[in-house]
Structure 1
Amino acid sequence: MCGILVNSSLDAELKEFENALDGMKHRGPDARGIVKEGGWRLGHTRLKILDLDDRSNQPFMSRDGRYLMVYNGEVYNYRELSAKYDLDCHTSGDTEVLMLLYQKLGVQMLNELNGMFAIVILDRLSGDVFFARDRLGIKPLYYKRSTDGLIVASEISPILSFLDNVEYDYVGLRQYAKLRAFFNGRTAYKGIKMLPAGHYRLNDRLVKYWNLPLGEQQAPSDEELRDLIEKAVRRRCISDVEVGSYLSGGLDSTIVAGLADKPHTWTVGFDGYNEFEWARIAAERFGSQHHEVGIEREEFLSMARKMIGERREPLSVPNEVLLLRMTQEVKKHNTVVLSGEGADELFFGYDRIFRWAAEQKEWDLRAFSAQYSYGLHEDLEVLEDVMAPFVAEGQTPLDIVARFFQIGHLHGLLRRVDNSTMRCSVEARVPFVDHTLVERMAGVSAEFRMKDGEVKAPLKRIFSDVLPDEIIHRRKIGFPVPLEEIFFGRSSDQNGPQRDALDHWLKFNLKCLTGGEMDLADLGI
């Protein structure tokens, strides 16, 4: 929905702040606002989704003048919360509801919100600064605290623009080289942190306000599960602008697109290396105006270089480039798009690794690494650090893997989606990451999720009236990118890139990020 930037540094000139904020114009091209309060500057670039009137522009000030807020995201149950707490709203969007809830409930308001959000609130009376992220980290929030003050932003690039000296975080880059993502609040840069999902920070105190429930839980009935998923999709169709759907032809996006029933759907791929056939089957079933977006092998690397250079971060997986290319076309018709991320984590769609975990008696980090890691290097030290929050006494290997995928692995996918869509001024919404659905599925048995060995058996059974038979029975494949052809000029396997191609992808990202100054060997691996 937006880009936010907050800086308390007394050394930052207004023009410098404006330039940093304008660097996130793609996140919010519809309005820009800056407020100076004491030593603070709060900036916001707005993508208008709810209440298109300028009255909901930000920074948003409370009516009594005490609080200033900048906010990125959508809270889907804002109307219900307004009624529940009898809020006196003068606007029709969710921004004012958030402000009034914070005045009434303080940090406890976070437990009431259903949606995706990154929020910064400054108390002009006490000087307190509060910032928070949604439970699963759908919306990003980075920060850097130093003797010069605090900087908070939706992206890393504006933070870097204020810094004279930039140092790389070698542990963070080792995480990336091993797992294609960053974990436990780390980034590629020393001193720049990502606020962890499900956390808030009040001044210098970091608090975890949400966690995935522990323990076994009885499986939901088919009726309950269908109701949860249908409600999650309906919530994410709340908008004052047009909504569309990605439609790869896979199970997850097909369910979302079918339930949403919106006019426009999109898929993307290379010539001769795509899922167009399956997406057409689904689009014909739904009667949508379907768009097949092509990308040339020659433009893939140039687009990737541009993305890395603008974001100042490496890309997670190669299909991030395809998401960007597809969303460039989405923007011609829609400002909101629905996506199927989260279903694989909920329903053990990564069946090879979940089957492996279910067969293990004891946790074995080295064996997990062989199943999950993407790089050719071992680096068990960094993997042990990444997995530490998920390994608890009394937890089975399946418990550990399920929690890691639901929180750690998913977080990397959510960063991919946000980065690719917001760069095109499009907001992506992910119904399978509705926290009520995630909490209900926590601790449900593998037998329910993969009944009789069938991958995603509950989804196929419950939505048989929505899904075309061809898609129910098709073999699961990833989001195909022919890396072997792009890097080596050899034919690619539709099942996914080989390890040497993935390793080359990692080296390509590090080279682009550091201007050729760093390779895997520089990380000691």
Structure 2
Amino acid sequence: MCGILFTNNSGEINTNEFMIALYLMRHRGPDAPLGFYNYENIMMGHNRLSIVDLHDRSNQPFFSEDGRYVIVYNGEIYNYRELAKKYNVQMKTSSDTELLLMLYINYGPIMLNWLNGMFAFIIFDTQMKKIFVARDRLGVKPLYYNVKGENYTFSSEIKPLLHLLKNYSLDNIAIRQYKKMRSFFNNRTIYQEVKEFPPGCYMEGNVLYRYWENDYSDKQPPSDEELKYLLESSVNYRKIADVKIGSYLSGGLDSTIITGLAGVQHSWTVGFREMNEFQWSHLAANHFETEHHVIEMNKSQFIDLSKKLIREKAEPLSVPNEVLLYYMTMQAKKENTIIMSGEGADELFFGYDRIFKWANSSEKWDLEQFSELYTYGSQKDLEIVEDAIQPFLKWKKPEIIVAAFFQEAHLRGLLKRLDGATMLNSVEARSPFLDYRLVERLSGVGYQYKAKDGVVKAPLKRVFKDHIPIEIAERKKVGFPVPLEQIFGVSFKGESYFDKWFNYNLEVLGELL
């Protein structure tokens, strides 16, 4: 896990400014000297967080043996050893970076379909003067860019791009998205000049191509044995590392299953004294005999750390619990460089039961009802909701529209939260529920399987009932609690606590602009 920076616009961006921008995300990779490569109009930078093959030979930018190709890469390819063997790649390192580069050299873009992992990378061909950019299927690893004509600047974070741009402006559509839906959609960021590189896509010769699109057509449910195998395989892949692995453990169903399957030594939970899940996390930790760490936050810390996060990210936070994740990961870094997390389970298994129950029972799409069930801001603004959901209306059936929206659009907001909370602490988060094999297998499998007999996440509870405490298997789902009412005080008439949260974020961000 690392931070990458690239530009082919060295005519406007000088080396000194590029290096300052690269250093702004030093937290993403403090384990090696700043990596830098300069060739004609190209500059490539890298911050390395050493996870696999800790040797200096795997530092980046990384070059092909003949020096023609150079790569900067952020992520993990979990099946890289199998791919190296299958395609007879003679490795000089034990790093997935080398494997990525060699597969591209030998096979071109088709190699993206073989990768099981999370990634964003850029390869430059010094002979053909061509760049190749790619991002993983679900957008687990971030990649942002600015484009001016044929000049591109890419970064793992927004803040370095703002430093290089100098002049930038807020996107009014994005602000409306945020204040209504607490996130950004259709590859927008809060800045007009900065876009998010779309997941499941690659760019070659300044042309964008889609290499992966999820299929939500009707599928038969997997057997319990198949589901168990897929999740166990996903967790085992994500245990591949040369550093210590821990796990978030709230005591909810998802984190409990992952913690148990991963067999970690250290588990972590966080909350407020007056609002937490400590009882449940202790129950799970005692069951698995982990060294459990309970992190308690107070309201003053929440305000201080939320301001720090907004300033570090140079964008508003989507959900308040990102602050708690950040604080917990700050402590977890003392023991673990990798953290297992349960992101993706609610999207895949219809854990948001109220909205999925509605979608399953609806024959026709109803935008107003969707907005009422999903959105957070008090302003109606249906135009913004319609714009966000538009790419998914092609599926026609309300259940599939909602499933696709959550799996692809809603999830991206949670992944930004997870990346910010972890990478600012030089920690890599891994999410087994986001293994593309699991996602592809369960997409299109219906509500009657995922909520059988009205039981939310029924397959997970059934398959893993003998592996986790029965109290947790039978526990009702709760959110990640943050006492916004106590932190921000009494609401004004017609203003929700989320309205206050949105305005607070925008005010803190405004101090930077």
The question of whether the paired residues in 2 share the 8 Å contact of 1:510 and 1:516 is answered with: no
The one-letter amino acid of 1:253's match is: S
How far, CA to CA, are the matches of 1:44 and 1:298 in structure 2?
Answer: 35
Q: Which residue of 2 aligns with 1:29?
A: 30
TM-score (norm 1): 0.95
How far is the alpha carbon of 1:516 from its aligned partner?
8.9
Residue 84 of structure 1: which of 83, 86, 98 is its match?
A: 86
How far is the alpha carbon of 1:489 from its aligned partner?
6.4
1:48 counterpart = 2:44 = no
Aligned residues: 509
How far, CA to CA, are the matches of 1:440 and 1:261 in structure 2?
Answer: 25
The one-letter amino acid of 2:503's match is: K
Q: Which residue of 1 aligns with 2:196?
A: 194
Residue 506 of structure 2: which of 510, 513, 516 is its match?
A: 510
Deviations 1:177-225 (A, max 9, x none): 1111111111111121100111111132111111111310000000000
How far is the alpha carbon of 1:515 from its aligned partner?
2.2
The one-letter amino acid of 2:194's match is: I
Residue 70 of structure 1: which of 69, 72, 76 is its match?
A: 72
Deviations 1:84-115 (A, max 9, x none): 00001000111100010001111111100000
Q: Which residue of 2 aligns with 1:338?
A: 340
How far, CA to CA, are the matches of 1:502 and 1:175 in structure 2?
Answer: 13
How far, CA to CA, are the matches of 1:516 and 1:245 in structure 2?
Answer: 34
CA separation of 1:356 and 1:192: change in aligned 2, threshold 3 A: same
Q: Secondary structure at the match of 1:220?
A: coil
The one-letter amino acid of 1:22's match is: Y
How far, CA to CA, are the matches of 1:437 and 1:97 in structure 2?
Answer: 24
How far, CA to CA, are the matches of 1:294 and 1:245 in structure 2?
Answer: 17
How far is the alpha carbon of 1:7 from its aligned partner?
1.6
Q: Secondary structure at the match of 1:337?
A: strand
How far, CA to CA, are the matches of 2:331 and 2:107 in structure 1?
Answer: 41
Q: Secondary structure at the match of 1:313?
A: coil
The one-letter amino acid of 1:208's match is: R
Residue 366 of structure 1: which of 362, 365, 368 is its match?
A: 368
Deviations 1:329-360 (A, max 9, x none): 11000100000011101111000000011111
Moved more, 247-256 or 408-417: 408-417
Q: Which residue of 2 aligns with 1:311?
A: 313
How far, CA to CA, are the matches of 1:383 and 1:249 in structure 2?
Answer: 33
Q: Secondary structure at the match of 2:45?
A: strand
CA separation of 1:358 and 1:432: change in aligned 2, threshold 3 A: same
Moved more, 5-14 or 80-89: 5-14
Q: Which residue of 1 aligns with 2:238?
A: 236
The one-letter amino acid of 1:64's match is: D
Q: Secondary structure at the match of 2:394?
A: coil
1:298 counterpart = 2:294 = no
Q: Secondary structure at the match of 2:334?
A: coil
Q: Which residue of 1 aligns with 2:277?
A: 275
Q: Which residue of 2 aligns with 1:8?
A: 8
How far is the alpha carbon of 1:147 from its aligned partner?
4.5
Q: Secondary structure at the match of 2:234?
A: helix
Q: Which residue of 2 aligns with 1:455?
A: 456
Q: Which residue of 2 aligns with 1:429?
A: 430
How far, CA to CA, are the matches of 1:234 and 1:464 in structure 2?
Answer: 20
The one-letter amino acid of 2:335's match is: H
Deviations 1:360-391 (A, max 9, x none): 11001111101101110111111111111100
How far is the alpha carbon of 1:306 from its aligned partner?
1.0
1:257 counterpart = 2:259 = yes
How far, CA to CA, are the matches of 2:231 and 2:332 in structure 1?
Answer: 24
Q: Write the mapping of 1:95-114 to structure 2, written as runs, cut at 5 A.
A: 95-114=97-116
How far, CA to CA, are the matches of 2:381 and 2:496 in structure 1?
Answer: 17
Q: Write the mapping of 1:126-525 to structure 2, written as runs, cut at 5 A.
A: 126-147=128-149, 149-392=151-394, 395-488=396-489, 500-515=496-511
The one-letter amino acid of 2:402's match is: V
The question of whether the paired residues in 2 share the 8 Å contact of 1:358 and 1:397 is answered with: yes
How far, CA to CA, are the matches of 1:63 and 1:248 in structure 2?
Answer: 46
The question of whether the paired residues in 2 share the 8 Å contact of 1:3 and 1:25 is answered with: yes
Deviations 1:114-140 (A, max 9, x none): 000001111111111111110000000
How far, CA to CA, are the matches of 2:166 and 2:227 in structure 1?
Answer: 52
How far, CA to CA, are the matches of 1:464 and 1:360 in structure 2?
Answer: 31
Q: Which residue of 2 aligns with 1:523?
A: none
The one-letter amino acid of 1:175's match is: Q
Q: Secondary structure at the match of 2:260?
A: helix
Q: Secondary structure at the match of 1:323?
A: helix
Q: Percent identity?
A: 52
The one-letter amino acid of 1:469's match is: I
Q: Which residue of 2 aligns with 1:522?
A: none
The one-letter amino acid of 2:468's match is: L
Deviations 1:405-436 (A, max 9, x none): 11111111111101110000000000000000
How far is the alpha carbon of 1:164 from its aligned partner?
2.6
Q: Secondary structure at the match of 2:60?
A: coil
